[in-house]
């Protein structure tokens, strides 16, 4: 079977067909890949059990029994997924499953490019990509400073700066309220795959802006090698007046589901204290989102300030004072402010 090493495989322009079982695909897959499973989850489990408890030969025979009746259906599905009839293909290790589907599709007139060593080799490359040193520029600031908006402004013209949006990839804004209004978070494995794909299109020799994050974004973890680089990078901290931050957050959360806001407040109960929690819940019920934000910001501001103080071995911060949360203007100010490692 003709096989492509990973870099060559990724450079090809054809659709990627992942023939692993649906449960494997859902756990993590190459971004943009399409699932054409050779076996269902149940069939895969039965084959695995037969392999372990009986023999490899019996497992192969069982696999053939499952494969035979579905060959015609698989070809029809493949034609829908890849009308051009030229595809990239992989399974877990580049073994029997991808070999069987390659044989079937070539018999049906497809041209198939097989990934050598399969998805397992792709995952190895994903994890290795987080070790690659980069020139990070970390953007910090208290809650409500509009850091994500500023990142997007930096990425847009006229700046055109390389940017990594970790919260966008994680589908979470990083606080107790972070899941509100967001799609469901991906699995940890898929987050890493999407993150590696985002890194791959960034220039390796130019500074990249990224938001200052804790190790966890919702239930996802920033890969340790990447997180260590971010903590060692120079940091710019936006100083936005509290009134501007309150107004921004009140406008944003005022448009969200009150029940979800109340749930987030309940999760913060131990940290806010009983009185502040009750006051915040009452403010939500009354539609007074400014009051709710004022109460919650007391906690978040103390937490962020304390967190900065606990990082004495990291590069010094450069504080950038701005008048409001205007992301376009604040992106200009950042561009004009030398960082802690910039030449004098």
- pLDDT, tens only, 237-257: 999 999 999 999 999 998 899
Kindly state the tokens that stand for 295: 């109460």
Q: Are residues 72 and 42 in the same domain?
A: yes
Lowest mean pLDDT among 1-15, 27-41, 71-85: 1-15
Residues 52 and 177 in one domain: no
> In the predicted model, is pLDDT for residue 293 greater than 70?
yes
φ/ψ region of 90 (left if φ > 0, alpha if ψ in -120 to 50, else beta) reads beta
Beta-bridged to residue 115, according to DSSP, are: 4
The most distant pair of C-alpha atoms in the chain lies apart, rounded to whole Å, by 72
Nearest CA-CA partner of 225 in 300, 295, 128, 142: 128
Residue 253 belongs to domain spanning: 132-336
pLDDT band at 1 (very low <50, low <70, confident <90, very high): low
| Residue range 132-142: mean pLDDT, rounded | 95
Return d(Cα 146, Cα 256) in angstroms, integer.
17
End position of a domain, from candidates 92, 127, 162: 127
Express each pLDDT in 210-226 by its tens digit.
999 999 999 999 999 99
* One domain for residues 173 and 309: yes
Is 191 part of any domain?
Answer: yes
Section 260-270 average pLDDT: 92
| Residues forming the active site | 91
pLDDT confidence tier of residue 232, bands split at 50, 70 and 90: very high
On whether both 200 and 328 belong to a single domain, the answer is yes
**pTM here?**
0.92
- Residues above pLDDT 90, as percent of the chain: 83
pLDDT score, position 342: 43
């Amino acid at each position: 079977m003709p096989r492509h090493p990973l870099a060559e495989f990724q450079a090809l322009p054809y659709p990627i067909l992942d023939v692993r079982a649906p449960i494997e695909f859902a756990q993590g897959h190459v971004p943009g890949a399409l699932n054409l499973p050779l076996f269902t989850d149940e069939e895969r489990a039965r084959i695995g059990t037969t392999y372990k408890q009986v023999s490899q030969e019996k497992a192969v025979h069982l696999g053939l029994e499952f494969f035979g009746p579905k060959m015609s259906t698989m070809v029809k599905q493949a034609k829908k997924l890849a009308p051009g009839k030229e595809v990239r293909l992989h399974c877990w290790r580049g073994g029997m499953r991808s070999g069987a589907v390659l044989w079937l599709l070539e018999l049906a007139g497809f041209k198939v490019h097989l990934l050598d060593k399969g998805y397992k080799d792709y995952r190895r490359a994903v994890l290795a990509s987080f070790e690659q040193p980069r020139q990070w520029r970390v953007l910090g600031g208290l809650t409500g400073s509009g850091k994500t908006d500023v990142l997007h402004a930096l990425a847009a013209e006229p700046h055109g700066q390389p940017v990594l949006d970790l919260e966008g990839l994680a589908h979470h804004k990083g606080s107790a309220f972070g899941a509100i209004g967001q799609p469901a978070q991906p699995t940890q494995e898929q987050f890493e795959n999407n993150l590696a794909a985002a890194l791959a299109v960034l220039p390796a020799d130019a500074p990249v802006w990224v938001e200052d994050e804790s190790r966890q974004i919702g239930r996802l973890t920033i890969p340790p090698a990447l997180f260590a680089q971010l903590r060692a990078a120079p940091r710019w901290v936006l100083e936005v007046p509290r009134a501007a931050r309150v107004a921004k957050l009140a406008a944003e959360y005022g448009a969200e589901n009150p029940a979800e806001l109340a749930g987030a407040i309940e999760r913060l109960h131990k940290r806010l204290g009983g009185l502040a929690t009750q006051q915040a819940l009452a403010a939500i019920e009354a539609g007074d989102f400014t009051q709710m934000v004022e109460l919650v910001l007391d906690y978040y501001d103390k937490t962020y300030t304390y967190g900065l103080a606990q990082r004495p071995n990291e590069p010094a911060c450069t504080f950038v004072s701005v008048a409001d949360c205007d992301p376009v203007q604040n992106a200009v100010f950042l561009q004009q402010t030398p960082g802690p490692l910039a030449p004098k």
